[in-house]
Amino acid sequence: MNYHSHSDPKISARFGDALLASLAPDGGLWMPDKIPHFSPETTAKMGALSFADCSAVLARDFVDDRFSNADLKSICRDAYDFPVPMTTLSGTILDAATPEIARDYILELFHGPTLAFKDFAARFMGRTASHLMTSSGDTRTILVATSGDTGGAIGDAFLDQEGINVFILFPKGGVSKIQEQQLCTMGDQNLNVRAISIDGTFDDCQQLVKDAFADKEMTKTYSLMSANSINVGRVIPQSFYYFWTSLQIKAAHPGVPIVYSIPSGNLGNLTGGLIAKKMGAPIERFVIGNNNNDPFVDYLKTGEYSPRPSVPTLSNAMDIGRPNNFPRILDLHGNDYEAVSEVCWGASFSDEETERHMRRIFTETGYVMCPHTTVGHLAMEAFAKDVDRDFVKVVVGTAHPAKFADSVERIIREDVPLPAPLQKAMRKTKRVHVMEPNLKSLDNYLAIHS
């Protein structure tokens, strides 16, 4: 597969080169030259595979000849050694042999090592990058801006890998207490993952990363590589779980339309879903849930895209006023608003609405949602009222509620037990560097620690 810059299709690269370069030379986002499409007969066979093996088959069409089929199977089996359950609010796991009468599911994408959906993309990206660099002997400095979960997933995926230094930029006071503990305890001073607390917003962090890549001297000096969703190596694997899970749902509920609701910030998760649909995944539509940072929902309603400064909310990982992947969504749909709005429907919700809904769902069912998943569930309920017809509802659960224990426990008035990985992180000593959001400070820090 070759890739092109979304802003200049004449600029081309193979998958591995696009992965390691992060952005195209003109600053554009890499896009696949074509999206493979699988027939219903082929998808039925792929749905019978395990998630890891199905992912390896899908990856074949997106990578280049530096990856053999055996390489991809090994990469995916190693990356995806955890479950991908779809559960009802009552706790019943979807099983094609004994489908639940109810058609409401939470796709729990938080059973990986850092308990967030970002593990899927980060682990695939880490292993493909490592495969390339082992062969070439290259080194890379990874800069990643995080509004919560990305940094933890990337840090875990690249921890202890030779030839790679990772610098995680997060907004000071802009992530949960537990998320910050995860970010700042990835390793000790001798290891290759470091956390930097930026005195600003996530947008400041994201802009700092973009500015570093725009500086040709810094990019060359440090061999910079981005692990944010601007990197196509992050977006492509996010299509895998939409493709495979939609086939499981179709087997359990044949003939019934399938709709996914995605709590959204940078729109990388949605982009992965849209790619899966174009590959032939039996998904009818996507519902997008935003918090008060809702430029994409506004776009769906008005056709006008107006990025803006982000504002802090309860669902902090979605506090993004300038989503990076918006150009990719346009590119996938020929820059046609009607085509985008035909497949996407959106709604945004306040913190007050989010808190009330989280408390109601817990009181009625005992199911505990993180704030982001709650926004997605709210959006799905709003969509169901708007269309008033039968379909299978799949809400994407993006993070374990324990990652936001302070907020969740206050809202539901119950303790949320910490899973073992979080208990371990909370016992560690934090190591973090605080920095103003300017390029010179970042350059100086990289010079010392790269």
Neighbours of 392 (CB within 10 A): 24
Summarize the confidence of residues 128-140 as an average pLDDT.
85
Summarize the confidence of residues 266-289 as an average pLDDT.
97
pLDDT per residue as tens digits for the range 67-112: 999 999 999 999 999 999 999 998 888 875 555 566 899 999 999 9
Question: What is the share, in percent, of the chain residues with pLDDT greater than 90?
Answer: 75
pLDDT per residue as tens digits for the range 348-383: 999 999 999 999 999 999 999 999 999 999 999 999
- Look at the alpha carbons of 194, 72, 29, 22 in this order and tell me if their dihedral is positive or negative: positive
188 has pLDDT over 80: no
450 has pLDDT over 90: no
Say what the pLDDT of residue 359 is: 98
* pLDDT band (50, 70, 90) for residue 22: confident
Which region among 187-191, 293-297, 363-367, 415-419 has the lowest average model confidence (pLDDT)?
A: 187-191
Order of strands, edge to edge, in the sheet holding 8-14? 8-14, 2-5, 30-32
| Distances from the Cα of 35 to the Cα of 15, 62, 67, 279, 302, angstroms | 13, 8, 19, 6, 28
- Minimal CA–CA distance to 407: which of 100, 123, 175, 233? 175
Say what the pLDDT of residue 395 is: 98
Question: What is the share, in percent, of the chain residues with pLDDT greater than 70?
Answer: 98
Say what the pLDDT of residue 445 is: 95
Cα torsion at 194, 199, 203, 208 (round to 10°)? Answer: -60
pLDDT per residue as tens digits for the range 201-254: 888 998 999 899 889 899 999 999 988 888 999 999 999 999 999 999 999 999
Say what the pLDDT of residue 230 is: 86
Class of CATH domain 117-231+419-450: alpha beta
Which region among 170-174, 225-229, 254-258 has the lowest average model confidence (pLDDT)?
A: 225-229
Fold category of 71-111+236-412 in CATH: Rossmann fold (3.40.50)
pTM metric for this prediction: 0.92
Domains in the chain: boundaries: 1-34, 71-111+236-412, 117-231+419-450
6 has pLDDT over 90: yes
Can you say how many angstroms the Cα of residue 143 is from the centroid of all Cα atoms in its chain?
A: 16
Q: Do domains 71-111+236-412 and 117-231+419-450 have the same CATH topology?
A: yes
**Residue 244 near residue 51 (C-beta atoms within 8 A):** yes
> To the nearest whole number, what is the mean pLDDT of the chain?
92
